[in-house]
Chain A
Amino acid sequence: MTPDLECTDLTKRFGDTTAVENVTFSVPPGSFFSILGPSGCGKTTIMRMIAGFLEPSHGDIRIKGRSVLNVPPNKRPVNMVFQHLALFPMMNIADNIGYGLRRAGLSRADIDRKVQEALERISLPGIGARRVEELSGGQKQRVAIARCMVLEPDVLLLDEPLGALDLKLRERMKVELKSLQAAFDTTFVYITHDQSEALVMSDAIAVMNEGRFEQIGTGRDLYYRPDTAFVAGFVGDTNRWGGRIERLDGDSMALRTDTGMILRGATHGRAFAVGDRADVFVRPEAIRISYAEDDLSQFDNRLSGRVTSILFDGAASRVIVSGADGPGEIEVNLPQSGEFAALTKGAEVHIGWASDQGNCFAAGAR
């Protein structure tokens, strides 16, 4: 099947700086594709190149197999939901949604019918006569999507459209966006710096850093099997230790940290040699905490230490444990079974994790 969107070797230079470098990806029809990266990584530049507001310095963009390089933005079969939505304040809601249809030269009756359908699709029937500023943030969001979707684009681009919403609404809109995508059955390309938005909604995510794609994969891939140290550090939280490799045995390895602690980890197929410097990443939620050392016998990494601080944050509560033999501070997630509700600062605890939870990358690698 021809992918809806295909970018090959996409590169954009502004003077001496390279904003996007050799980015290649393809998005299959009907899927939700996210580009996740810190601000300034070049994700907006990619988006603007696909929409047609920027010319790539090199590379090709194909939509449904056809190159759109020399097609102006108003002729491309892609539409964009802008960061601040960019609804037209001088028009009412129905005229906003009907704008693209009027440009396409549809008859008045057809436009009215399609606008009504779109308003019902986004469950806001009867708001056509209202003004843009009378709508709430979430409603504007849906109108902005409907305004694009009435044109039945091959690809819908979304440029961090949830950024301006408050936390509760953002959580709800995540679910809603995903269901709107399913309802319209259109390919969505979504860019964000918020990993939770990307993880919740996407079929595939590309993690971007400094103009390059670090890894493309499903949310699970990125989370459990990061390809690079950047992905391991950017997606989810993580503990990180630097050290030198002491022993290699197939996929498993042992590393002596700079503070002298021995940690066991997995190479996950990456090539290392004994004596190499490497970094080990372990997620706080992969670490088990216990009052009794015996509970942790199944883990090959075990430590004892004291709680130096408790970061209470409801379901995402953490403690920071300082190891007895001085491996520095380790962030550990608290299980929410209530067992540790009475945990206090200074309490003696034992922690442990399985070696394959420790992702190991060559030090210095980005």
Chain B
Amino acid sequence: MRSEARLGLALLLTPLLLWLSLLIFLPHVDIFLVSLRERIGVGKYQISFANYLTFFNEPLYLWTFFRTAVMSMLATVITLLIAFPVSYYIAKMVKGRVQSGLFLLCLVPFWVSELVRTFGWMILLRETGIFSKLLQAIGLSDGPVEMLYNDGAIMLGLVYTSMLFMVVPLVTTLESLPDEVIEAGYDLGGNGVSVLREIIIPHAMPGIVSGCIVVFMLSLGNYLTPTMLGGKESLWFTELIYSQFIVRFNWELGAAFGFMLLILSSAIVWGMLKLTGQSLEKTMG
């Protein structure tokens, strides 16, 4: 009986273990090994940290690296600032059909692919686009206005793409806050600001943190949005990785970049958890 149960458990775990080992663990090990290779001749390699040294010695790479991190953090903060009132409205101010309707509206953009959505923004923002025409028509601008290919456009795209991933955890945690707890906050003399600061935000903290982690990771690893809305020179770290692998055929350096990105995202998420006093179990559980 015991051995049967053990066999059952093993069979149940097999797909998960296969998935984890084949699709996550093995590729990362391989990438790490590739990143440690240095090409010293045709078909000749030796193990060294040369690729990592290249990364640290080239200011453009470092600059792109930090720029990507800072822009992703900014995108996360902006997403949070926009998503919080929206989530509060959906979770607490409306009930029933309006609530599910609004929630669905947040979801609707995700029915089309990210590519199509991003093209949508390009149609709106380009020189011959709708906003440009509109500005000219109402006389705010003399000539066509190019709103694409700048950091603002990247930020817009990142925030737009990430919104749902912030709204969902926030709505879930805010819904679990009983109305009477908020009312008690007011009843005992609190005003809007203090109720928000002392009751609503502390309660929503796990949702805020998990939303922020997801949005930050998505922004940091986003390739499509920075490339399409920011143009070729948008200096997004994923583009560097792409160009090393695909354009330059320099897999070794690309792998080193990939590993740096992994370390960066892990370090920032860890730092954020420490800073807010949350643990991964608490946020994900």
Partners in one complex: yes
Residue ranges of A at the interface with B (Cβ–Cβ < 8 Å)? 51-53, 72-75, 79-80, 82-84, 86-91, 99-100, 103-104, 147-148, 151
Q: How far is the CB of B197 from chain A (nearest CB, A)?
A: 11
Flag if A90 contacts B203 (CB, 8 Å).
Answer: yes
Of B28-36, B70-78, B186-194, the stretch lying at the interface with chain A is: B186-194
Q: Is B101 located at the chain interface by the 8 A CB criterion? A: no
User: A82 contacts which chain B residues (CB < 8 A)?
Assistant: 180, 183-184
Return chain B residues, CB-CB under 8 Å to A89: 181, 203
Query: Which residues of B187-214 are within 8 A (CB) of A?
Result: 187-191, 194, 198-199, 202-203
Is the CB–CB distance between A73 and B198 below 8 Å? no
Q: Do the beta carbons of B187 and A74 come within 8 Å of each other?
A: yes
A52–B189 Cα distance when bound, in Å, is 12
Q: Are A86 and B181 in contact (CB under 8 A)?
A: yes
Task: With CB as the reference atom, state the residue of chain B lying closest to A99.
Answer: B188
In the complex, what's the smallest C-beta–C-beta distance from A201 to chain B, in angstroms? 22
Give 16 A-B contacts (CB < 8 Å), ordered by A residue: A74-B191, A80-B183, A82-B180, A84-B178, A86-B180, A86-B181, A86-B183, A88-B181, A90-B198, A90-B202, A90-B203, A99-B188, A100-B188, A104-B189, A147-B188, A148-B188
Query: What residues of chain A lie closer than 8 Å to B181, measured between beta carbons?
Result: 86-89
Q: When the two chains form their complex, are residues A73 and B178 in contact, meaning their CB atoms are under 8 A apart?
A: no
Evaluate whether A79 and B203 lie within 8 angstroms (CB atoms) in the complex, with A84-B180, A86-B178, A86-B181 already known: no
Q: Are B180 and A83 in contact (CB under 8 A)?
A: yes
Partner of B190, one of A51, A86, A87, A99: A99
- Report the nearest A residue to B194, measured CB to CB: A103
Interface centre among B183, B189, B191 (most CB of A within 10 A): B189
Chain B residues contacting A52 (CB-CB under 8 Å) are: 187
Minimum CB distance partner of A97 in chain B = B188
* Chain B residues with CB below 8 A from A79, complex form: 187-188
Report the nearest B residue to A72, measured CB to CB: B186
Task: Tell me the bound Cα distance from A79 to B186 in angstroms.
Answer: 10
Residues of A within 8 A of B189 (CB): 74-75, 100, 103-104, 151
The chain B residue with its CB closest to the CB of A75 is: B189
Taking CB atoms, residues of chain B closer than 8 Å to A75 are 189
A80 touches B203 (CB 8 A): no
On whether the beta carbons of A73 and B194 are closer than 8 Å, the reply is no
Give every chain A residue within 8 A of B183 (Cβ-Cβ).
51, 53, 73, 80, 82, 86
Residue of chain A at shortest CB distance from B203: A90
A293 → B minimal CB distance (Å): 58
The 8 closest A-B pairs by CB, nearest first: A103-B189, A100-B188, A90-B202, A86-B184, A86-B180, A82-B180, A86-B181, A73-B186
Chain A residues with CB under 8 A of B185: 88, 99
CB of A325, distance to nearest CB on chain B (Å): 55
Give the residue of B187, B191, B199 whose beta carbon is less than 8 angstroms from that of A51: B187
The smallest C-beta distance from B256 to any residue of chain A, in angstroms, reads: 43
Alpha-carbon gap, A361 to B232, bound state (A): 90
A84 contact set on B, CB distance < 8 A: 178, 180
Distance between Cα atoms of A83 and B184 in the complex (Å)? 11
Contacts of B188 in A (CB 8 A): 74, 79, 99-100, 103, 147-148, 151
Closest beta carbon of chain B to A142's beta carbon, Å: 16
Closest approach, in angstroms, between the C-beta of A140 and any C-beta of chain B?
13
Q: How far is the CA of A80 from the CA of B194 in the complex (A)?
A: 18
Among A73, A84, A147, chain B packs the most CB atoms within 10 A around the CB of: A73
A18 CB, min distance to chain B CBs, angstroms: 22
How many angstroms between the C-alpha atoms of A147 and B184 in the bound complex?
A: 10
Docked CA distance A52–B181 (Å): 15
B199: chain A residues at CB < 8 Å are 88, 90
Q: How far is the CA of A84 from the CA of B177 in the complex (A)?
A: 12
Question: What residues of A have a CB within 8 angstroms of the CB of B184 in the complex?
Answer: 80, 82, 86-88
Return chain B residues, CB-CB under 8 Å to A51.
Answer: 183, 187
List which B148-200 residues lie within 8 A (CB) of chain A. 178, 180-181, 183-191, 194, 198-199
Contact with A along B198-238 (1 / 0, CB 8 A): 11001100000000000000000000000000000000000
Contacts of A74 in B (CB 8 A): 186-191
Closest A residue by C-beta to B188: A100
Collect the chain B residues with CB atoms within 8 Å of residue A151's CB.
Answer: 188-189
CB closest residue in chain A, given B205: A90
User: CB-CB < 8 A to A103: which residues of B?
Assistant: 188-191, 194
Of A72, A74, A84, A147, the most chain B CB neighbours within 10 A belong to A74
Least Cβ–Cβ distance between B144 and chain A, in angstroms? 52
Q: Please, how many angstroms separate the alpha-carbon atoms of A87 and B188 in the complex?
A: 11
Residue of B nearest to A83 (CB): B180
